[in-house]
Structure 1
């Protein structure tokens, strides 16, 4: 990956990490009730699960690209359409936030928080579909190697943790802002526009 591609990939994953969804809402609830430091294991568990999906997507894409060109073309188009779908859903899905009361707060140990975050992300198979759709924008799938996967995984892990902890800090320090449905709706519109733009790039920018 070039420096420009790496930077763009990093920013894209960061934006993906702060997009409203089950994981972000879990962080909002925990940050609003337990504080920022108790969000660290939850965010780390979500990030590790995402990295596993990312590696699986890289390996699967490389194998398909090398042996099944027509099938890879189908996946590329399906991935672009999926990004369009995500963008559409972000524009149309109503925002709902459920807070966790202190007397029902989850256990504060690291392992419990990590497993909760890991399962939140791992239980969502759409994550791997996102990476399958998104990776060809930044990586030459046909010449993908272990170093590329390592760099992509490292960048993604750092970007995910920064994004998720950013949400956690805001949840802890600016509760009223993040409880606003209007604010989350603006975030949805922004993220949805980015998803649609990424889908358009993937659909019309065919790799040689």
Structure 2
């Protein structure tokens, strides 16, 4: 992979990462409800899931996407149902003005990571994107081990650089809220975004 190809690949993945979809909506919802720091594990999980899909495309799982489309439909529906559940939890949560204690945030890291991973993994269009996208930049049949490592590193870096700031920007909204009523409205707005992400995933079959 040349430097020019790598830079172009990085830019294309960055744009793909910040394109509105279920992941971005979930990040906005989490940032608005829990703050920017809580978005980091979600973003890491989403980004690593995308890298896994990229590697799957590299190693030939395009055949699975073609011949086992029913499996991906089931995954998509389960992912949409999970997003609906998260949206419901936000809608019904009690308003609080206190940020989560440090210990609770650390304990919540893996939960956020898993949520992010599942949100991205439940969107089969991600692997279809990579199946169509990768041949534009590289001959998959001629990739070496180092090429795959470089591509995966560029992919992960571009996604994180794109999506983490989205969560922090959403988290800044929370700083200006000072009443339980405002927090309740924010939680319901975040829940609506999460439900919207589920609807987006469910309807784009």
TM-score band by shorter chain is 0.5 to 0.7
Distance 1:46 1:13 in 2: 13
Q: Specify whether residues 103 and 11 from structure 1 end up closer, same or farther in structure 2 by C-alpha distance, changes over 3 A only.
A: farther
Q: Which residue of 1 aligns with 2:116?
A: 117
Q: What CA distance in whole angstroms lies between the structure 2 residues aligned with 1:55 and 1:13? A: 14
Distance 2:121 2:2 in 1: 30
Q: Compared with structure 1, are the counterparts of its residues 104 and 27 closer, same or farther at alpha carbon in structure 2 (3 Å cutoff)?
A: farther
Which residue number in structure 2 is paired with residue 40 of structure 1? 40
Residue 104 of structure 1 deviates from its aligned partner by: 7.9
Structure 1: runs of 5 or more not aligned: 65-97, 180-208
**2:31 aligned with 1:27, yes or no?**
no
- Paired residue for 1:52? 52
TM-score by length of 1: 0.62
Secondary structure at the counterpart of residue 110 of structure 2 = helix
Higher relative contact order (CA 8 A, sep 6+): 2
Give the 5 Å matches for 1:2-13: 2-13=2-13
Measured in 2, the distance between the counterparts of 1:56 and 1:125 equals 12
2:152 matched residue in structure 1: 153
Q: Aligned-pair RMSD on alpha carbons?
A: 3.0
Residue correspondence of structure 1 range 94-113 to structure 2 within 5 A: 100=90, 103=94, 108=105, 109-113=108-112
| Alignment size in residue pairs | 144
SS in 2 for 1:60: coil
Distance 1:42 1:165 in 2: 9
| Gap regions ≥5 residues in structure 2 | 64-86, 177-185, 187-205
1:29-70 CA-to-partner distances (Å, cap 9, x unmatched) read 111121111001100111111111101101118x98xxxxxx
Q: Any residues of structure 2 matched to 1:132-143 within 5 Å, and which? A: 132-143=131-142
State the TM-score, normalizing by the size of structure 2: 0.63
